[in-house]
Amino acid sequence: MKSIVNILLVINIVAYFADQMLGLSGFMGLHFFASPFFHWFQPITYMFMHAGFMHIFFNMFALWMFGRFLEKAWGNQRFLIYYFVCGIGAAIVQEAGQLFGFIEPYATTIGASGAVYGILLAFGMTFPEERIFIFPIPIPIKAKYFVLIYVAIELLEGFGANDGVAHFAHLGGMLFGALLFIFWKSKTRTIHNVRKMKVTYNKVEKSQPYNYRYDYSTTTSSPTNTSSYTQNNSAEIDRILDKIRHSGYDKLTAEEKETLFNASKK
């Protein structure tokens, strides 16, 4: 599959020139939901509209600079989901900011900045010890501190500045990105614990094989020993974990979820 980052770059650049020629921002930009100009698709399309060359240049540069590392670490599908969750989350927070009066009502929001700020956050959480440069700081700083600096700046300017920049959208992209990142991390930890439990259980069974006899007058079908049962159960858990890795937990059947849940309790 082709790089999602490259595809997003191309779409944004094409949309930018189309907007310059056709004036699409007024229709595809994000309007306040109480406005007669609001449409259901705008929380998505606004991400591909930009106010000018420098606006799209810095957004696309950050997308390319940090997004390619996340895509390589996460895979295409997860990165694409993360990007749109951050972008749509930024739109939700921006709308809430207008609703509660923190932002000028009926302002139109455009740009991929919300999704890009989510990517900055994810880079800092995924590679916290990586050192990067921030102008005008003359020395490299760790990515985790880079993220904290940007969060602080957006908070201060979101509540104190009136510069026409969608600071609440930036914070919204970071907020939704953090929530999704934590959710994925908790799921990964659960799967890791199940796999660790399974390996430990198998070691015990291999070191202490027990054979059982059954009274076939009262039992019609039973396993002959726990070793064969463990092997079958281990293979099934492996298959389910591989399915989660390729397709996600939501693609499991009810029986597979029950099998995984029962295994985690042993």
Domain ranges of the chain: 4-182, 209-265
Please report the pLDDT score of residue 214 as a whole number. 39
Which residue has better confidence, 227 or 176?
Answer: 176
Which residue is listed with tokens 């920049």? 165
Candidates 3.40.50.300, 3.50.50.60, 1.10.260.40, 1.20.1540.10; CATH matching 4-182: 1.20.1540.10
How confident is the model over 236-254, as a mean pLDDT? 74
For tokens 């076939």, the residue is 216
In terms of Cβ atoms closer than 10 Å to its own Cβ (0-12, 13-18, 19+), residue 218 is: exposed
Report which of residues 121 and 253 the model is more confident about.
121
Contact 144, 129 (CB under 8 A): yes
| Position 47 pLDDT exceeds 80 | yes
Burial class for 25, CB neighbours closer than 10 Å (0-12, 13-18, 19+): buried
What tens digit of pLDDT does each residue of 170-210 get?
999 999 999 999 999 887 766 656 666 555 555 555 555 44
Tokens of 229: 């049962």
Three-class SS of residue 221?
coil
* Global pTM value: 0.70
Percent over 70 (pLDDT), the chain? 76
Task: For 51-130, list the strands marked E by DSSP.
Answer: none
SS3 assignment, position 135 = coil
